[in-house]
Amino acid sequence: MARESPPLLALHGITKRFPGVTALADVSLDVRAGEVLGLLGENGAGKSTLLKIVSGAQRPDAGTITWQGETATLATPHQAQQRGIVTIYQEFNLVPDLTIAENVFIGREPLRATGLIDWPRLARDTGDVTRRIGLDLDPMMSVRDLSVAEQQMVEIARALSMQSRLIIMDEPTSALSETEVARLLRIMDSLRHAGLAVIFVTHRLTEATGVCDRVTVLRDGRLAGTRPVAGLEMDELIRMMVGRSAEQLYRRPATRRAPGPVRLSIRNLRTEGVTTHGTVLHGIDLDVRQGEIVGIAGLVGAGRTELARAVFGADPRAGGRIEVDGSPVRVHSPRDAIRAGIGLVPEDRKLQALFLALAVRHNFSIAALGQFLSFGVFVRERAEAEALEHYRRTLKIRMSSGEQMVVNLSGGNQQKVVLARWLALKPNVLIVDEPTRGVDIAAKAEVHELLDELAGNGIAVMAISSELPEVLAISDRIITMREGRITGDLPAAEATQEKLMALMTLAPVDA
């Protein structure tokens, strides 16, 4: 990249305080036209806060912002947009009932002389921008019918149609499949070639080193440094992020415990019709033993989340048997599942797992599961506070106190609170669905270690993850799924990413 060109955006000495925390302290960074800048750091390091300041959603307490060499105020999202700064949030700003075209040009639709919308032109103009990013869909399709990845691309198309100069993406890859991630990274590359600047936040370091020109690392709200990616060693990057080297992060013990008797047994589990997630399960047979971690690998739509939800009683089953410790259990609701000793850390923490408007303490509390439990669980506040403190330390949950509202925690720390709540419930069977989505690498190692510890204590763990390295790292045995069926079952020691990919894409045998 042209290193001599003046930066498009430069931040100097940005400080931002919230009650009880300094989210950013004296942070400076710059981004140039034609580059992708990675913004990295552990959960709670201040990444999202910094991006909110750049996008005009929040104002810094101190510091200056320069845009193309001139001091600028970005007091509102509108002011930021006027300069060509567009932010693509994880919760999309699309109107589901409108078409792709209407969403791309919302408020800016081309009009006829009569003042009515010029539909043919709207469709054409939309096609022009969507094609640039390889989104090959009818502009007249309703946004409601699009996948998460496609909706994200509509947001990018809208940014392009607005002649944006800087596109900000906060963890855009966390909800995407591997092929979708690859496509998004290619789009970022093309944006760079078109002379735009991109700021990209991710916890997956290979994505960052794969697409970024430079990375800026935050640690505890402070600038840990900015480095060109060329020649940057992974270990140095990790050290900048977490203050210690990768060597000291969790390494799975070489000797594994021998699994005990079967704790969770699933026979001929079937669903039908429309479940929340869509994929129908066809006769799933699966055993998870005491002390065993069974990883579930599969592409989006393979039925992994559906399996978790069906076992947990969150979706209705059409048939099949579930046994825990050799006894059949009737699981028709999450309440039944919890009584039977089955816990689920769901995939989407925001929608299914947290009460955002409540304090961490209440979210952690097993009483928060009261909606599932018919009998009252007597919670002694003191014991609860101690337990919360225990998990805050082991999971390194970054919060000012148990009284802090969950909505004000960083994304990764919200995930840790969900995890802590289920761990505190001490289930016999624990199902975790994408347990480290949005969790930073150090915390990820901690979560892996914790799952290992749980298994060591005899819990049967079923772990769903879209990241194959993660599945390989944590599992004793790995099941692959496709189209609602199991397509493979192998000991982790014999598994490789290639073998798993082959099984995940293998056409399932029709039962």
Interacting residue ranges for ligand ATP, rule: CB under 6 A: 18, 21, 23, 41, 43-49, 398, 408-413, 440
Cα–Cα distances in angstroms (integers) from residue 329 to residues 320, 324, 342, in the given order: 11, 7, 10
With CB under 5 to 8 Å by kind, the binding choice for 398 among Mg ion, ligand ATP, none is ligand ATP
Cα angle vertex 35, ends 29, 40, to 5°?
Answer: 50
Of 50 and 479, which CB lies nearer to Mg ion in the complex structure?
50
Judged by DSSP in three states, 166 sits in strand
* Shortest spacing between CB 38 and ligand ATP, in angstroms: 13
* Shortest spacing between CB 224 and ligand ATP, in angstroms: 12
Write out the two tokens for 425. Answer: 């419930």
Site for Mg ion in 42-61 (CB under 5 A): 48
With CB under 5 to 8 Å by kind, the binding choice for 44 among Mg ion, ligand ATP, none is ligand ATP
Quick check: 46 and 58 in contact, CB under 8 A? Answer: no
With CB under 5 to 8 Å by kind, the binding choice for 436 among ligand ATP, Mg ion, none is none
User: Position of tokens 């599945």?
Assistant: 471
Write out the two tokens for 480. Answer: 């692959």
Write out the two tokens for 278. Answer: 């869509």
Tell me the residue type at 30: D
User: What does the buried/exposed string (b/e) look like for 196-211 if buried means 16 or more CB atoms within 10 Å of the residue's CB?
Assistant: bbbbbbbbbbebbbbb
Of 85 and 443, which CB lies nearer to ligand ATP in the complex structure?
443
Q: Applying CB under 5 A, which part among 75-83, 329-337, 406-414, 452-460 lies near Mg ion?
A: 406-414
Of 442 and 462, which CB lies nearer to ligand ATP in the complex structure?
442
With CB under 5 to 8 Å by kind, the binding choice for 149 among Mg ion, ligand ATP, none is none
Phi, psi of 497, rounded to the nearest 5 degrees: -60, -40
Of 238 and 329, which CB lies nearer to ligand ATP in the complex structure?
238
With CB under 5 to 8 Å by kind, the binding choice for 46 among ligand ATP, Mg ion, none is ligand ATP
With CB under 5 to 8 Å by kind, the binding choice for 412 among ligand ATP, Mg ion, none is ligand ATP
Of 52 and 158, which CB lies nearer to ligand ATP in the complex structure?
52
With CB under 5 to 8 Å by kind, the binding choice for 417 among Mg ion, ligand ATP, none is none
* Shortest spacing between CB 41 and ligand ATP, in angstroms: 5
Of 34 and 411, which CB lies nearer to ligand ATP in the complex structure?
411
* Shortest spacing between CB 50 and ligand ATP, in angstroms: 7
The whole-angstrom distance between residue 112's C-alpha and the CA centroid of its chain comes to: 43
* Shortest spacing between CB 484 and Mg ion, in angstroms: 33
With CB under 5 to 8 Å by kind, the binding choice for 343 among Mg ion, ligand ATP, none is none
Of 230 and 351, which CB lies nearer to ligand ATP in the complex structure?
351
Of 221 and 341, which CB lies nearer to ligand ATP in the complex structure?
221
Cα–Cα distances in angstroms (integers) from residue 312 to residues 331, 448, 465, in the given order: 7, 22, 17
With CB under 5 to 8 Å by kind, the binding choice for 349 among ligand ATP, Mg ion, none is none
* Shortest spacing between CB 238 and ligand ATP, in angstroms: 15
Any bridge partners for residue 166, and if so which?
A: 85, 197
* Shortest spacing between CB 27 and ligand ATP, in angstroms: 11
Closest CA to 58 of 46, 70, 50, 66: 50
In this structure, the strands spanning 293-298 and 197-201 are: unpaired
* Site size with Mg ion, rule: CB under 5 A: 3
Judged by DSSP in three states, 362 sits in helix
Q: Applying CB under 5 A, which part among 40-48, 205-213, 214-222, 357-365 lies near Mg ion?
A: 40-48
Of 216 and 275, which CB lies nearer to Mg ion in the complex structure?
216
Quick check: 488 and 307 in contact, CB under 8 A? Answer: no
With CB under 5 to 8 Å by kind, the binding choice for 409 among ligand ATP, Mg ion, none is ligand ATP
Using the rule CB under 5 A, is 411 a contact of Mg ion? yes
Quick check: 165 and 192 in contact, CB under 8 A? Answer: no
Q: Applying CB under 5 A, which part among 294-302, 405-413, 445-453, 470-478 lies near Mg ion?
A: 405-413
Any bridge partners for residue 18, and if so which?
A: 21
With CB under 5 to 8 Å by kind, the binding choice for 250 among Mg ion, ligand ATP, none is none
Closest CA to 16 of 56, 41, 49: 49
Of 126 and 414, which CB lies nearer to Mg ion in the complex structure?
414
Quick check: 236 and 257 in contact, CB under 8 A? Answer: no
Of 43 and 487, which CB lies nearer to Mg ion in the complex structure?
43
N-to-C CA span, the chain:
55
Of 311 and 439, which CB lies nearer to Mg ion in the complex structure?
439
* Shortest spacing between CB 418 and ligand ATP, in angstroms: 13
Write out the two tokens for 61. Answer: 């307490």
In this structure, the strands spanning 342-345 and 429-433 are: parallel
Write out the two tokens for 310. Answer: 């069906």
* Shortest spacing between CB 178 and ligand ATP, in angstroms: 21
Task: Tell me the C-alpha distance between 142 and 145, whole Å.
Answer: 6
How many CA atoms lie within 13 Å of 296's alpha carbon, on the beta-carbon side?
28
Any bridge partners for residue 405, and if so which?
A: 359
Q: Is 231 exposed, middle or buried (0-12, 13-18, 19+ CB in 10 A)?
A: exposed
Q: Which residues bind Mg ion (CB under 5 A)?
A: 48, 410-411
